[in-house]
Amino acid sequence: MSLMNRAAALTLAAALGLLAGPSVSQERPSRDQALHVAVELVNEISKDGMVAQFVARSWPAFEPQLQESMPGASPATMASLKAEFQTIVVQHTKDLLAAAPAIYTTYFTVDELRDMLAFYRSPTGQKALRVMPNVIADSVRLSADRMPAVTAEIDRAFRSRLKARGVDLPI
């Protein structure tokens, strides 16, 4: 290979190396830093009893279905089941929160994580953390209220479309 071809090959290799991004050794401190900030972020957004609030808001949605399936259950039985529910949901929520920082670092840069952390430490961010459980609960309740009508509409639309194609579904 001529000197000119070697120089061109080295230049091409260097350019491809730059396009490929940082090496693993260059990327590691950034990833570690992002993980550290993500841990701070998760701690910030899950403080002040967020897990307990989540559990407290989850049980009322779950309890009517349980009572319907066990109409003769005593208050003591229901209290026992609620305690078991709380124990299980708290543990699973804590497990999810432990995994959350790694997930955040997949989708956000260190700077973006810092921006989010700053937001959640601001007065507006603190308010968002306080009211978001209510916003989510109201949204879930609204969605649940509307779901039967949406499901019926989808069923009618599918049946109509399939009937037009010669497929008649049983009831």
Determine which of 11-25, 82-96, 134-148 has the lowest per-residue pLDDT on average. Answer: 11-25
- Whether residue 11 is contained in a domain is answered as no
- pTM for this structure? 0.61
* Average predicted confidence (pLDDT) for the chain: 81
Shared domain for 104 and 153, answered yes or no, is no
pLDDT at 29: 58
Query: What is the per-residue pLDDT across 93-122, written as a single tens digit (0 to 9) for each?
Result: 889 989 999 999 999 999 999 999 999 999
Shared domain for 32 and 100, answered yes or no, is yes
Taking residues 60-82, what's their average pLDDT?
Answer: 87
- Whether residue 4 is contained in a domain is answered as no
Shared domain for 161 and 106, answered yes or no, is no
> Which domain does 83 fall in, by range?
28-121
* pLDDT > 60? residue 3: no
pLDDT at 49: 74
- Whether residue 16 is contained in a domain is answered as no
Shared domain for 66 and 142, answered yes or no, is no
Overall number of domains in the chain? 2
- Whether residue 9 is contained in a domain is answered as no
- What does the alpha-carbon distance between residue 169 and residue 86 come to, in Å, rounded to a whole number? 42
| Percent of the chain surpassing pLDDT 70 | 82
* Helix segments in the chain, DSSP class H: 3-19, 24-45, 50-69, 75-107, 110-121, 123-164
- What does the alpha-carbon distance between residue 95 and residue 91 come to, in Å, rounded to a whole number? 6
pLDDT at 20: 42
Shared domain for 94 and 138, answered yes or no, is no
* pLDDT > 80? residue 125: yes
Q: Is 47 helix (H, G, I), strand (E, B) or coil?
A: coil
Shared domain for 74 and 147, answered yes or no, is no
* CA-angle at 19, arms to 13 and 25, nearest 5°: 90
- Whether residue 53 is contained in a domain is answered as yes
Read off the tokens for 42: 């998760």
Contact between residue 34 and residue 105 where contact means Cβ atoms under 8 Å apart: yes
- Whether residue 17 is contained in a domain is answered as no
Q: Which of 147, 149, 128, 154 is nearest to 61 (CA)?
A: 147
Shared domain for 78 and 41, answered yes or no, is yes
* pLDDT > 60? residue 123: yes
pLDDT at 25: 38
